[in-house]
Amino acid sequence: MMPMGTELKLLAFDTSTEALSIAVRRGERLVAHNGAGGAQASATLIPLIQQLLAEAGLALAELDAIAFGRGPGSFTGLRTACSVAQGLGFGAGVRLLPIDTLHAVAEEARHRFGATRVVAVLDARMDQVYAARYDFADPQAVLADAVLLAPEQVEVPPGWTLAGNAFAAYADRLPAAVARHEVLPTAAAMLRLAPELLANGRTVAPADAWPLYVRDKVAQTTEERAAVKAANTSSSS
Amino acid occupying residue 153: Q
Tell me the sheet residues that pair with 13: 22, 68
Provide mean pLDDT across the span 57-66: 98
Q: What is the pLDDT of residues 160-172, one digit of tens each?
A: 999 999 999 999 9
**Residue 15 dihedral angles phi and psi, to the nearest 5°:** -130, 30
CA neighbours within 13 Å on the CB side: how many for 188? 14
Q: How confident is the model at residue 4 (pLDDT cuts 50, 70, 90)?
A: low
pLDDT tens-place string over residues 189-228: 999 999 999 999 999 999 999 999 987 544 444 443 454 3
How many beta carbons lie within 10 A of that of residue 146, not counting itself? 22
Q: pLDDT, tens digit, for every residue of 105-155?
A: 999 999 999 999 999 999 999 999 999 999 998 866 555 689 999 999 999
Q: Mean pLDDT score of the chain, rounded to an integer?
A: 88
> Please, what is the Cα angle at 193 between 143 and 105, to 5 degrees?
65
Residue 229 pLDDT > 90: no
Q: Is 25 helix (H, G, I), strand (E, B) or coil?
A: strand
What is the pLDDT, as a whole number, of residue 219? 43
- Rounded CA separation 20/38 (Å): 7
Ordered structural domains, the chain, with CATH: 5-100+185-208 (3.30.420.40), 103-182 (3.30.420.40)
Residues sharing a CB contact under 8 Å with residue 7, sequence separation 6 or more, in sequence order = 27
Supply the pLDDT for residue 2.
Answer: 58
CA 51 to the chain's CA centroid: 22
pLDDT category of residue 41 using cuts at 50, 70 and 90: confident
How far is the first Cα of the chain from the last one, in angstroms, to the nearest whole number? Answer: 69
User: What predicted TM-score, i.e. pTM, was given to this entire model?
Assistant: 0.87
Q: What is the DSSP string of 202-233?
A: --B-GGG-----SSS-SS--HHHHHHHHHHHH
